[in-house]
Each structure stands twice: as structure tokens, then as C-alpha cells.
Structure 1
């Protein structure tokens, strides 16, 4: 055991001798002589390969003799029977033996994982356990979810005298055998005969044994998620783990999204969509979450706490990055709680329209809900209500303090005055800035209508806002309409506005224009669409079908195809929905 204050505060019970007893003598001897045996994670034995011992910071081979069938049989005879999920255990220990079988069902590999009961590991969230609210633990494999789950069950049963029932599907929480490991304290354990029956045992536990707390490990199917919701609605506290590292993983997982409330498409009215600065069809939380508190276990001693899952999910769906609580424990067992942004913000990509349409989330003051109404004013010089002036001024928001400066003019190649100051109305700021930056256009966006050289507005807005045209006419500012709020249409309008020559066949598209996050998957999908257009559709006049992609990536592909003046449709059912590009 490492000699530091933290390990002294956390009592560790590992029964390493019982795990070593099932191993062949040569392998057992190698581990017993290793200086880091107290930090052993697992022993891997694959037929015909050298045995391997894995530690937190390294993996080492145990000897020079490959594993033989006799070595595997030696281990199999000394452990319990393997269940339907190919897991076995050692009587009254927390060790887990997992098997790899060949196509005929014969075991050709074993993973002997060390199980440890760590008392005191949940000191950093003890206050959350006391609340009686349901807790969901998330994290990558090996970060300690099951260990924390076991300790939570013991604390609730022994320290808070609650009736706790553990649904132990693989005997991983309370160990193998009919008598549970002492690490769970007074908590009771219900074993599951087959993994696919876990949801039935969950319901049975509530109906037959009157628990106050249900502990579940690895919620992974839709039936288990539904059973968890049923249990929570009966007033029973849930403590569980789920497949996924972060909350946004669950939101995008249709099987498990119900654990955090689920999502549904909602069509907003015109006024509400304009107020939010979003598309009319958005994603919103469907119901209260099954788990009120979520804990993202990034590292063994660094956990991110979402004390209000409803609020976190709502923020993510509206495009606002959450500001979670981060709890860490140092080597001196000192708990530190901070409220800070994470080092790497998650890539959510959750908002926008549903189906073929998927647009970036709006940013700025309007999307964050921090806009404050301006005081009423009188009529302006043009004789029009200043309320409408205010509406125009708020149509594109900038943070306070970014005042307008005087125009800076540079002569263009044909004597034009560059840059051109553009007042956008109803057009996405992110799309405009993306086109200007990628194509390096001499355009500056302004929110001061009197300082603008031109107004750029959606045609649909121009039809309904006659006052906008009247104000622009009084101030002698030309108005240019954009057909739709897409990259190709914005690019086309800006090029026309700047007097750039249009060609019959568009030049090779710059893929940076159409990507949202710039990751490899997006660029690969756009490159596939570009090659299909330039090498098949345009020269040969043949339609092309692309590979299945997500709705957000298909949206980018649609915009790229539109750049080439071609038509495209999506067809097929998710997750195999894909693009078909047609010749002109």
C-alpha cells in the first residue's frame, strides 16, 4: 500500500492472496516478487502469448513462457462458474475473472481483475449521498465507478440506517458466492441469473423487499433505463452507473437519454424563435430526469458534480456551456471544491432543427438570456418608432464595450472603397463571420445602421418588414436580400455585393466554409461529397449516393452541394440515412 496520507485515510482491502492462489505457480511467483504488487490492476492470460500484469502506469510480462491450455484450465478449475456475460468470481472476494472464448465456446483467454474495497473513497461526495436524491456515476472503465458504488451502498446502509438492495448482475459489487462481501455492510444483495434479466430483478426488488435505496451497476439497455424511471417514480432513491463518460454522451444516446430526461423536438412560434435567436424547431428536455445528481468521474480523485441535472441538460440543449462544480482530493486528503469551466469543453452539437436541418447554436447575449430591455425612446429623425430602431439594433448583438469606430477605407483593385460595412438583419452571425474569415473578404460587420454601407437581410424578413426598407431608403443605404441562412447563399450574396465575377461552374469549394467543428469526421464527409460532385455528378451527369452520416454532417453536405448549384436529398432510415446528389 502506498505510504501517504490519502491511502491511510482510505482503508483498502484487496484479498490479493486469494487472486494469486488461482494462478499457475510460475505466474504467481512473478507477481509476488514484483515491487508494485499492491497496485496490481489485472492479470491477462491469452493462449499462446506471454502472461501480462497491468499496473496503473505500466504493463509487464511475467516470464518468458507462453500461456498453455493447461495454465488456463488451472485457473478455470479454481473459480466459480461463468455466467452468461462470461464472468466468474472467487468465493467471498471482489475479484472478477472474465473469459474470452473462441467460435466453438472454448475459453482461450482470461482477464483476472483485482477487486478492492476502498473504505472512505466517497468522502468527497458524502454530502450529496446524504440528500436522499438519486445519483448517477459516469466515467471511463477503470476509473473506480464500481468501487464508489460499493462504498455508497455501505454508507447508506450502515451510517444512515437505510434499507439498501444491490442489484448485482455480475457479482461485481458484492463478490462471488451466496454470501456477500463485508464491503457492502448491512446492504442486501440480489443476484441476477442472466444479464438480460437485470431490469426484471430491479422491479422485483422494489415490489418484494421494500427498499429505500436501489443500487445498480451498468445501466445499458432501454429496458433497464425504463425500469430505473419506474423505480424513481415510486419514491425510491437510485444510485447507479451508466455507459458514458459525460452527460452529453447520454443526451445523444437514444437508449439512455431517458436517464437525464430524454429529448424531443419542439416547434416554436415565430416570436419565441426570434426571441431565442434559434430555428423554429429545437430540441428540449422531455421529462424530469431519473437521476437528480450526476457525477462525472474524470479521474480517481477529480470528479465533476452536476447538482441539478435538469438545469445542466437544459443549458446544453440551448447551447450554453454549463459551469459545473469540480471536486478534487490531494495527497493530504484535503478536499477542494471549485466552480470553474472544464479544461476541454465538450462538443455538444445538440441544438438546431431536427432531421435534415442542423445548424450551429446561437451565441451572444440573446442566446444566454442576459439581454435587458432598453428604455422607451421618442421618434427618430426619419419619423419612425424607435421601438423598431431598437429591434433592428438588437437583431445582431455584441458584448457591451465593443463600440463602433470610424470607418477605415482602403482602395480596392478597381478603385472601390474597402472594406464594406454590412448591417446584418436576421442572418446568423457565425455563418457570416465564417464566410468572411475563410474567403478573406473585405467586409466588416456593424451594428450601427447609420454607419453601414449596406443592409444584408433574409428575403423572408424583408417581405414582412416594410419599415426596414423605408428606414434604409431614408438613410440611402442599399438593401440586399439573402434567400436562405446557409453558407452557399451568404457566400453568393457577399460575392455579388463585392462585384466578384460569378462563373457558371463554381470553383472548387473551400471545405472550411462548410464545417462546424473542423474535426476529421466532418472533413472526411465533406471531401467525399466534393469528390462525388467534381468527379462523377458534374463531368458524367450521373447521380451519386454518399455514405450514411449524422443529421448535422448531412446538413453540411447539403450546403456543399448547393454551392455547386446542384440538388440533393436525404433518404433512408436512421442510422443509415444518407445523401443522394442529382446532376443539374
Structure 2
């Protein structure tokens, strides 16, 4: 499906007077459309710092227009459009009635992970971090295509919210020949099982489908982290994103710290304090090797900070020293951090 027709597929479920505001060139840059009952729609474009607010307010007839074309939302209040990467989320009031929508335009960027190909070829485990909207999922999607189609690896994706492969039973062609396992919806009566469900699917990729590379969007639970360690011990390549804008955020996330060496507070003996020439009685140190060999921080789309040795970068950060990182393209034009 061509990029233009993919955007048109989403605009077809948006009220026409709103869709008319993103026709032509605007359709190529629109990223998100917000509809809230009784308020003007807001349109976000990637080449605008501020959203564009329309003059007319959203009425109930506009909400019904959408609901007449999008009839099913999951328990997480999300849905999508088959064979596209778009995401539609609804907002409900306390009576469970829908009072708003967020339409997120998904675009496949085939070259997004190309600067990381050298890392992917080495079969090293790669952790990708970055602020929301920086393009982490786009990089994973591109990496899946590179690994499966160019490097001919057996790739399985654990698709947490259908954002890598898109909604529906048939994944978006942007993931190449990688296979996609969808995470079951959590039981709202047992929310603590959410992490266990994703961890279970990740294990299925190993046991049932003989994955050589596993791609996971958002390692966010302690159960995910434990399974990631298991995968690393089996010698299977793991490419994943995690909550946090930088490697430092992962280090100080208690549930995910084990991914980067599980730093713990160490109490120093008087002899050790004297030997190190320190004033402090406690320090933070890694207690084991990191699950991930290298890490990639997405500063903004297409701009990366690469940590080729996570262990070394973590050790430096724990000592309040600059990490050993590279900026820019890891093959050419990289500069040491």
C-alpha cells in the first residue's frame, strides 16, 4: 500500500471537515489528530512546533461519524485499520461513553534502522531508548525488515500493542518476512499479570518458533527483564526498547536495572575507602554483566547516541563520568562522546 493511500485510509474515518484540513502536502506531515467533545480539534505536524487548532468545535455527530466507521475497540481503548500502522485510541467518561479520539498516523520508514545495520549484523543485543514519539518503534520495524530480508535471520516480533506490525491479523509489510506474535489483552481483574503475559509470548518465540532474533517493543515489567536475561543466556539476539529517554533512566529504574548490570549500593570498608581515596562510605556498582551489549539513544528522528559497550557506559555513569558513546552514524561520521 502506498504511503498516500495509507494516510487516506485513516482520513476516511475522520469527519470530512477535519480531514479537509490535512489534504495535499499537509497529509505528508500530519502525525496526530485530537478530537474532544465540545472543543476544537488539534492537529500535530512533525514540521510544526505547535499544534494547529481548528475553529469549529467537535460535536456528538462527529463522534458518531467515527464510530460508524470504527466499530470495535479493545479493552485498552485502542484499535487500528487492517494492513496499516495507524492507531486510534478513544477517551471515555465515567459512564464509559466515548467523548474523544486520538488518531496517530503510522508511517513505515524503511531506512530508519539503516545506520544501525553494523550493530544488527554482529548479533549483539541492542537496547533502544528515547522519549515518547522519538521513533523507537519505527527503528524496531525497520530493524525487523533488515534482519529478516537482508540478513536472512529467523526473526519473531513480540508486538505489545500492535504498533510494530499494525493492527489486524495480517502484519504490515514494513516488517519484512519477520513473524509477529501479538500479546494477549491483560485481564483487568488481574492487572499484575500484564508483564507475565508479555514474558510468556517472548518465551513462545524461543521455544515454539525457534527465533534467532527476538524484537520487543517496550520492556516495562520486571517479568520482561527476567525473560530477557534468559534469552541472553540462550544466545538469542534481542532487540528491544525500554521505558526511558536515556541509558541513565534505565539504570535507575528498579524494575529494569537488571538489564544493564543490576547496579546495587555497596558499603565500603574503611580499608577500601582509603584505597580508593574516597570520602563516601557507599557507592553504586554493577553486580553482573548487562543483558544488552550496546544501547542506542534516539535524540530525535535520525539522530542517535550509540553506546557500543553498555557495561563501560554504565560504569562511567555510576561514577558520574561521561559515558563512552558515539553520536551520529555508527559507520561513518561518528564522534566519540
TM-score of the two chains, using structure 2 as the length reference: 0.91
C-alpha deviation, 1:323, in angstroms: 3.4
Q: Which residue pairs with 1:73 in the alignment?
A: 64
1:37 to 24, 27, 44: 27
Residue in structure 2 matched with residue 569 of structure 1 by the alignment: none
Counterpart of 1:149 in structure 2 is 140
Aligned-residue offset at 1:93: 0.3
Where in structure 2 are the equivalents of 1:194-343 lying within 5 Å?
A: 194-195=185-186, 196=194, 197-278=197-278, 279-327=280-328, 336-340=333-337
Task: Mark the CA change 1:125 to 1:110 in structure 2 (over 3 Å): closer, same or farther.
Answer: same
Asked if the contact 2:312/2:324 (under 8 Å) is kept, the reply is no
1:46-80 per-residue CA deviation (whole Å, 9 max, x = no partner) reads 11111121112132123x32112231232234236
- Give unmatched runs, 5+ long, in structure 1: 1-10, 341-584
> Deviation at 1:326?
0.5
Q: Distance in 1 between matches of 2:287 and 2:43?
A: 47
User: 1:222: Cα distance to partner?
Assistant: 1.3
Do 1:14 and 1:115's aligned partners in 2 also have CA atoms closer than 8 Å? no
What's the offset of the Cα at 1:12? 6.3
Q: Is the 8 A contact 2:85 2:172 kept in 1?
A: yes
Tell me how far apart the structure 2 counterparts of residues 168 and 323 of structure 1 sit (CA, whole Å).
Answer: 31
Gaps of 5+ in 2: 187-193
SS in 1 for 2:227: helix
Give the match for residue 59 of structure 1: 51
Distance 1:207 1:155, change over 3 A: same
Ranges of 4+ aligned residues in structure 1 off by more than 4 Å: 11-14
State the structure with bigger RCO (CA 8 A, min sep 6), 1 or 2.
Answer: 2
Contact 1:167–1:202 (CA<8 Å) still a contact in 2? yes
Residue 335 of structure 1: how far off its partner (Å):
5.2
Number of the residue aligned with 1:499: none
Q: Per-residue CA shift, 1:290-321, capped at 9, x if unaligned?
A: 11111010111221000111111111222322
Q: Which residue of 2 aligns with 1:23?
A: 14
Per-residue Cα deviation, 1:185-242 (whole angstroms, up to 9, x for no partner): 1000011121512122112221211101111111111112222222222211111111
Are 1:102 and 2:99 matched, yes or no? Answer: no
Structure 2 CA distance for aligned equivalents of residues 227 and 77 of structure 1: 41
How do 1:501-520 and structure 2 match up within 5 A?
none
Judging changes above 3 Å, is the alpha-carbon distance between structure 1 residues 84 and 258 closer, same or farther for their aligned structure 2 residues?
farther
**1:77–1:166: structure 2 CA closer, same or farther, 3 Å change rule?**
farther
Residues 500-559 of structure 1 show CA distances to partners (whole Å, capped at 9, x for unaligned) of xxxxxxxxxxxxxxxxxxxxxxxxxxxxxxxxxxxxxxxxxxxxxxxxxxxxxxxxxxxx
What is the alpha-carbon distance in structure 2 between the residues aligned to residue 95 and residue 80 of structure 1? Answer: 15
- 2:290 and 2:311 in contact (8 A); partners too: yes
**Distance (whole Å) between structure 1 residues aligned to residue 4 and residue 325 of structure 2:** 33
From 121, 134, 146, the counterpart of 1:130: 121
